[in-house]
Structure 1
Amino acid sequence: MVLLKKKNDNLMISSGDCLIICDLENLSDKFLKIPEPVLPQNLTKGQVAVLKKEIRNVTSFDFYNENGYTVVSTENKQVVVYDKHFNIVKNFIVNRAASKVRFTPSNDVLVADKTGDVYLYKLNSDNEKPQLLLGHLSVILDMTMSECGKYIITCDRDEKIRVSHFPNAYNIMSFCLGHREFVTRIKVVKNILVSASGDGTVRFWDFVKGEQVGLINTNDHVTDSNLMTAFAKRMDEEKVDVEVLPVMDMQVYGDGSKLYIAVSLYSYSDLQVYNTILSTLETSFVMNINVGSNLFSYHFSDVLYILSDKFSAFKLSDEKFVESSVPFLENLYDKFKELLKQNEDDSIIKLYKRKFDNVQEYLERKRQRLEAKIKL
């Protein structure tokens, strides 16, 4: 999995257990590998083997703008916090592998794990024991906070979006219910929550009330109908009935009164861009951007950065996003292209719920028992 994010003048790319930091102002780059974990005492040999795996693939990272900190989580239950010079501030182990990490407004760290729990780690406290904030009944796929800092918002594999008070997250403000498949991404812009799902939709919510206020059917703008046919056939072998391409990722960029939304769909070679007027939530389709056969990752800010078979940048001009030549990014891709290569990401396929006919299996076992009795 390749991740791409921008903070101020820095672009950060994670691939496997490596981090690449690109300084867009000084046109320089830095390469880091995730360090070995600092292990707590009294671990079993099995626990040590898991935690000290040589490959410590990055699952999530986030920035804190106030002091330039960066937090990174890995598959081997490790969380690393770096300062603005990328010196290690904290290097600790969590109980379960993290699916998402986020900073709070007070520079503490939220860790959502793959069993559905969210813990709060206070970086400036001598007490290293985390505080359990909330729990879902399935894996949390994304997590964010409201711009006011009063709410923590989480989404999961079971189509649910939960809005909880922060830090007293046992006090649930609302649920945003309406998606028919797992919710892959959530973003907050002012008082609006934007979510994307395996059901192929992007939805807008008044998250305080838990009310849906807008909807985009992304598959309406897929130009190749054969993709859905091929995907449905593949998922039929997995015993899953699907009718749309799922949303892999969604990024948003607010430009005053407008909100631009970039959406990537499974196996689709185009990145979709939409334009939403925030006052009315009236949405229009802007364009498809062809990204080639391998879309690794992208980040949407004042510039749309896309990492695929090349590293490209698109700038807004006359309501369209136009590719802009950035020699530094082109050279950066050539320098690290072997590291950035990856196979097709099939992790999203595992999120669909399989349907099993347990009745037929029960009847077959019953028939076998009856036949065994007759023989006796």
Structure 2
Amino acid sequence: MASSAGLALCGQALVVRGGSRFLVSSTASSDDDSLFTYDCSTAEKKSQESKGENGQPVDKGSDMILASTFSKSGSYFALTDDSKRLILFRTKPWQCLSVRTVVRRCTALTFTASEERVLVADKSGDVYSFSVLEPEGCGRLELGHLSMLLDVAVSPDDHFVLTADRDEKIRVSWAAAPHSIEAFCLGHTEFVSRIFVVPGHPELLLSSSGDSTLRLWEYRSGRQLHCCDLASLLEPVDPQGHKGLAASRITFWGQESCLALLCDCVPVVFVFHLHASRQELVFRQQLTFSHRVWDIAFEDTQGLWVLQDCRDTPLVLWKPVGSQWQPVPESVVSQRLSSHLRGNWAMLEGSVGAEDGFRSLYKATFDNMASYLKKKEERLQQRLERQQRQRSPPSDLPGQAKRAREALSC
């Protein structure tokens, strides 16, 4: 199984993950060269050796990191891996607080705004919550879907849990009573790959899907405010004719009300401006790359960091210059960060990026109407042939028999 590369930023703490490892560095302009690294393959094995609910040993995975995130303040960091573990860290200073077992492999996770709990969404459609204040506490089932969950988010006031699934739905549930559903955001025609509550605009939700659209919602009412067709923005038009463009990352820069979107299978990043008062998204620019882009993240004070499949320059920084975004020439900071990644390139080599998992989520379609019309045409043809035979004059069988008898008597 190929490893997945990812990027996470909170304040000046930058996390790059690949395979079973991640490393943490600082984007500060100082000469601080400190580095924190962690390898999930060295995590506590007792979590793997425990028994599952049915008494069977917990399935041992590859230790590959599946998802990771910072808490809102950056005080905590959490990840889940292919060995069905949730690993919690304190970041100031960096320290592993606990290794806990989850029921099934996870697809996404997020901290509550209060940073008291971690919500973990899994492939079976369930969301479990784990205590941050009690790092060894067991998980608690909060809610469930009938299909695979692909993302989970919380409202800034912690009143609502938002979930996105493979069956085109976005559900808005009350956090205090998850069985109570406030609204559904319906309109996508393929799986919903990412959902994102807009910082500074707690009533607004962004979503992306395998139907190649980016949508803006007022999520408490389930009302769609704006819809962008991503496929129509590709310059030039995608020559490979991908079935859809599903975002693997949505990141927002409050300083410029700027939104960046990384899509699967294409080495481009879409940049939008959010007009909150007009409740719409305005397309600004398409950033094109010569290498595969693994992940993107905004930093409040600098701009957009891009993690790409290039050993010479694995991390590049983009900033707005006038009305256009442009790559920034290598600085002391970017050189130091790239040097760290080159020294740990083994963890990134062969990475595929989170979006590759989306290819299997498209539902197979069958053209039943074409088959029906073909069979109908065959039945009509058979009926026509029978009618023609019935209308033709009957054969002169008695006359033929008499003539045959006369010929024999001669």
The structure-2 alpha-carbon separation of the partners of 1:245 and 1:94, relative to structure 1 and needing over 3 Å to count, comes to: closer
The structure-2 alpha-carbon separation of the partners of 1:186 and 1:146, relative to structure 1 and needing over 3 Å to count, comes to: same
Q: Which residue of 1 aligns with 2:130?
A: 121
Question: Is 1:87 the equivalent of 2:95?
Answer: yes
| Aligned with 1:211 (options 223, 227, 240) | 223
Larger RCO (CA within 8 A; separation ≥ 6): 2
Q: Which residue of 2 aligns with 1:22?
A: 25
Q: Which residue of 2 aligns with 1:332?
A: 340
Give runs of aligned pairs for residues 20-169 of structure 1, distance below 5 A: 20-25=23-28, 26-34=32-40, 35-39=43-47, 41-42=50-51, 47-48=57-58, 50-51=59-60, 53=61, 55-66=62-73, 68-84=75-91, 85-106=93-114, 107-125=116-134, 128-169=137-178
Structure-2-length-normalised TM-score: 0.77
Following superposition, the deviation at residue 74 of structure 1 comes to 0.6
Following superposition, the deviation at residue 311 of structure 1 comes to 0.9
| Aligned with 2:278 (options 277, 280, 291) | 280
The structure-2 alpha-carbon separation of the partners of 1:126 and 1:36, relative to structure 1 and needing over 3 Å to count, comes to: closer
CA distance in 2, matches of 1:269, 1:127: 41
Give runs of aligned pairs for residues 233-248 of structure 1, distance below 5 A: 242=243, 244-248=244-248
| Aligned with 1:174 (options 152, 169, 183) | 183
CA distance in 1, matches of 2:297, 2:104: 28
The structure-2 alpha-carbon separation of the partners of 1:335 and 1:150, relative to structure 1 and needing over 3 Å to count, comes to: same
Q: Which residue of 1 aligns with 2:349?
A: 341
The more displaced of 6-15 and 25-34 is: 25-34
CA distance in 2, matches of 1:74, 1:287: 35
- Secondary structure of the corresponding residue to residue 170 of structure 1: coil
| Aligned with 1:318 (options 317, 322, 325) | 322
Contact 1:162 1:176 in 2 (8 A): yes
The runs of 5 or more residues in structure 1 that have no matched partner are 232-241, 361-376
Q: Which residue of 1 aligns with 2:405?
A: none
Q: Which residue of 1 aligns with 2:397?
A: none
- Secondary structure of the corresponding residue to residue 57 of structure 2: helix
Give runs of aligned pairs for residues 219-368 of structure 1, distance below 5 A: 219-229=231-241, 231=242, 242=243, 244-255=244-255, 259-302=257-300, 303-308=303-308, 309=310, 310-324=314-328, 325=330, 326-345=334-353, 346-355=356-365
Following superposition, the deviation at residue 200 of structure 1 comes to 0.8
Q: Percent identity?
A: 25
| Aligned with 2:10 (options 7, 14, 29) | 7
CA distance in 2, matches of 1:68, 1:126: 14
Amino acid paired to 2:176? P
The more displaced of 200-209 and 295-304 is: 295-304
Amino acid paired to 2:365? K
Amino acid paired to 1:253? W
The structure-2 alpha-carbon separation of the partners of 1:127 and 1:296, relative to structure 1 and needing over 3 Å to count, comes to: closer
CA distance in 2, matches of 1:273, 1:217: 13
- Secondary structure of the corresponding residue to residue 46 of structure 2: coil
The structure-2 alpha-carbon separation of the partners of 1:80 and 1:337, relative to structure 1 and needing over 3 Å to count, comes to: same
Size of the aligned set, in residue pairs, is 343
Q: Deviations over 1:234-269 (max 9, x none)?
A: xxxxxxxx4x433333222223xx531212233222
CA distance in 2, matches of 1:268, 1:24: 27
Contact 1:37 1:92 in 2 (8 A): no
CA distance in 2, matches of 1:337, 1:67: 26
Q: Deviations over 1:105-135 (max 9, x none)?
A: 3321111111000011223349834321111
- Secondary structure of the corresponding residue to residue 251 of structure 1: strand
CA distance in 2, matches of 1:71, 1:203: 28
Amino acid paired to 1:100? A
Q: Deviations over 1:168-212 (max 9, x none)?
A: 211111000001111111111121101111111110000010000
Contact 1:228 1:245 in 2 (8 A): no
Q: Which residue of 2 aligns with 1:372?
A: none
Taking only aligned residues, the RMSD between alpha carbons, in angstroms, comes to: 2.4
Amino acid paired to 1:81? L
Contact 1:202 1:215 in 2 (8 A): yes
The runs of 5 or more residues in structure 2 that have no matched partner are 372-410
